[in-house]
Amino acid sequence: MSAPPPGRPKGAQASDRSGRSPRTTPTPSRGEGAGGRGRSSPPGRTKGAQAKDRSGRSPGAPTPSRGEGAGRRSGPSPTGPLHGIRILDLSRLLPGPVCTLHLADFGADVIKVEDTGEGDYARRLGVEAGQTSTYFRAINRNKRSIQLDLKQEAGRAIFLRLVQGAQVVVESFRPGVVDRLGVGYAEASSRNPAIVYCSISGYGQTGPNRDLAGHDLNYLALAGVLDQIGTAGGPPALSNLQIADLLGGGLSAAMGILAALVEARATGRGRHLDVAMTDASFAHQYFALHALSTWGKVPARGTDLLTGGVPCYQVYPAGDGRYLAVGALEPKFWQSLCAAIGRPDLVGQQFATGAAGIAAQAELQAVFSGRTQAEWVEALRGVDCCVTPVLTLAEAMQDAQFRSRGMVLGETLAEAQFGPAVRLSGAEFPAPKGAPAQGEHSKEVLREAGFEEEEIASLASQGVI
């Protein structure tokens, strides 16, 4: 969600969320949701020849792939629990692509559907012309890409024809865009009643905020999450881990899709999933809800159990300016820590607050400042006390824990990606395939759908693909 919108100079961090592309999409009127928050410009649609379906396959049936010999992924992986599931992904930037990344890692055949203009501009985030950003490569591996101009009638017809052989559609435009393009849930389900159609947005398809622009920061702020993050007496703290985008737009969407797929396989009927990133952020504040319900208020940031209000759950600086994370919430861990650092007198101050808590934290800070971070890591090795070093990402990429679990992929830093975070017994994830070039698999996918070479050539000449 942090990529610059079309037309914004490189390096700008905010994106427009209007869903409009300067090349293919006209600015809508206010009644059409001007100022809305879709993160990607819809591929276009104007009148043109409509392709006929010659695939002979029933709706929902998985289709085999035919390789182009490009040295990149050709069709779905033959392994993985989602093998045979085809996903048409209209989304861009972060939330939707992360959702489909997880599904692709589990074997789904994810086809990015990009417009014939700029496509997914996450490709160019922070890199020179002709290069592909690590950001894009990391969240679009194991996918294929086609480009379609959905403003042309022929492009719309192709998409709906592909829906007949798919199980899932994912989109992240502002509410109403896909319906105006003629590729919304109603149209898709009329072609394939079992289709699972997932719409990801900032505030949802309904409600007074549905057409508002927004970013991760805005969703967290409105949900009440941002107010709780930070140090005592300071302003709300920002994070470069997009909580709402990833929790709401990525993981919540993937969870909903999998649930709807199970139902669709049992009943033959799909669902339209309305996934709002703000909702997911709002609905996961269980600890804060407990406080509000029990005491009538949520403690001010920096003063509660989990934001630094007690000695046993805090970040302390070591002697070299590096930090140690102390999470000794259970008495046994706190007692082990106090014994290991030679301060058994602090056992009774585990949950001290107010002046006593401040004094206990000062005592601990004085202790930890006596050694470097690395020295404390060695001193506490083997002590069961929930203390870990605060590492940089570069250090974490080299850490034995992540390396041993295959969480770091690639031989060099330039090639580095994160491995799948879920392990399946008896299964090995295959080596990831590179992220696709824009429209790299257009011809391949159309051949799979039964298009003849002359039709494909004609569609290309018309700028439909």
142-151, 234-243, 306-315, 407-416 — which is least confidently predicted?
A: 407-416
5-14, 207-216, 366-375, 385-394 — which is least confidently predicted?
A: 5-14
Beta-strand pair 408-409/417-418:
antiparallel
Q: Spot the catalytic one: 245, 274, 279, 304.
A: 245
For residue 328, the Cα-to-chain-centroid distance in whole angstroms is: 31
10-14, 227-231, 406-410, 417-421 — which is least confidently predicted?
A: 10-14
User: Would you say residue 56 has pLDDT above 90?
Assistant: no
* Residue 154 burial (C-beta neighbours within 10 Å; 0-12, 13-18, 19+): buried
Task: Read off the pLDDT band of 271 (50, 70, 90).
Answer: very high
User: Would you say residue 54 has pLDDT above 70?
Assistant: no
CB atoms within 10 A of CB 391: 15
pLDDT in tens, 173-218: 999 999 999 999 999 999 999 999 999 999 999 999 999 999 999 9
Both tokens assigned to 161 = 């024809």
pLDDT in tens, 318-333: 999 999 999 999 999 9
- For the segment 253-272, the average pLDDT, to the nearest whole number, is 98
CATH number of residue 64's parent domain? 3.40.50.10540
Spatial distance between the Cα atoms of 62 and 165, rounded to a whole number of angstroms: 6
Q: Which of 124, 188, 116 is nearest to 146 (CA)?
A: 116
| pLDDT value at residue 78 | 56
Contact between 123 and 136 (Cβ < 8 Å): yes
| pLDDT value at residue 414 | 84
Looking at the chain, the whole-number percentage of residues with pLDDT higher than 90 is: 79
User: Would you say residue 453 has pLDDT above 70?
Assistant: yes
Q: How many domains, in total, are found in the chain?
A: 1
239 or 63: whose pLDDT is higher?
A: 239
> Rounded mean pLDDT of the chain?
86
15-24, 77-86, 174-183, 434-443 — which is least confidently predicted?
A: 15-24
427 or 77: whose pLDDT is higher?
A: 427
Is 330 among the domain residues?
A: no
83 or 50: whose pLDDT is higher?
A: 83
Domain range spanning residue 168? 30-279+440-461
Is 384 among the domain residues?
A: no
User: Would you say residue 67 has pLDDT above 70?
Assistant: no
| pLDDT value at residue 427 | 82
| pLDDT value at residue 10 | 36
Task: Read off the pLDDT band of 225 (50, 70, 90).
Answer: very high
Is 178 among the domain residues?
A: yes
| pLDDT value at residue 52 | 40
User: Would you say residue 283 has pLDDT above 90?
Assistant: yes
3-state secondary structure the chain: CCCCCCCCCCCCCCCCCCCCCCCCCCCCCHHHCCCCCCCCCCCCECCCCCCCCCCCCCCCCCCCCCCCCCCCCCCCCCCCCCCCCEEEECCCCCHHHHHHHHHHHCCCEEEEEECCCCCCHHHHCCCCCCCCCHHHHHHCCCEEEEECCCECHHHHHHHHHHHHCCCEEEECCCCCHHHHHCCCHHHHHHHCCCCEEEEEECCCCCCCCCCCCCCHHHHHHHHCCHHHCCCCCCCCCCCCCCHHHHHHHHHHHHHHHHHHHHHHHHHCCCCEEEEEHHHHHHCCCHHHHHHHHHHCCCCCCCCCCCCCCCCCEEEEECCCCCEEEEECCCHHHHHHHHHHCCCHHHHHHCCCCHHHHHHHHHHHHHHHCCCCHHHHHHHCCCCCCCEEECCCHHHHHHCHHHHHCCCEECCCHHHCEECCCCCCCCCCCCCCCCCCCCCCCHHHHHHHCCCCHHHHHHHHHCCCC
Is 325 among the domain residues?
A: no
| pLDDT value at residue 141 | 96
User: Would you say residue 12 has pLDDT above 80?
Assistant: no
79 or 49: whose pLDDT is higher?
A: 79
User: Would you say residue 44 has pLDDT above 60?
Assistant: no
Is 50 among the domain residues?
A: yes
Q: What is the pTM of this model?
A: 0.82
Is 187 among the domain residues?
A: yes
CB atoms within 10 A of CB 160: 18
Contact between 140 and 445 (Cβ < 8 Å): no
Looking at the chain, the whole-number percentage of residues with pLDDT higher than 70 is: 83
**Which amino acid, residue 100?**
T
Contact between 82 and 129 (Cβ < 8 Å): no
- For the segment 90-115, the average pLDDT, to the nearest whole number, is 97
Is 341 among the domain residues?
A: no
Is 3 among the domain residues?
A: no
**Which amino acid, residue 150?**
L
For this structure, is 215 an active site residue? Answer: yes
Q: Which of 331, 324, 326, 325 is nearest to 351 (CA)?
A: 331
pLDDT in tens, 233-262: 999 999 999 999 999 899 999 999 999 999
Q: Spot the catalytic one: 215, 274, 304, 441.
A: 215
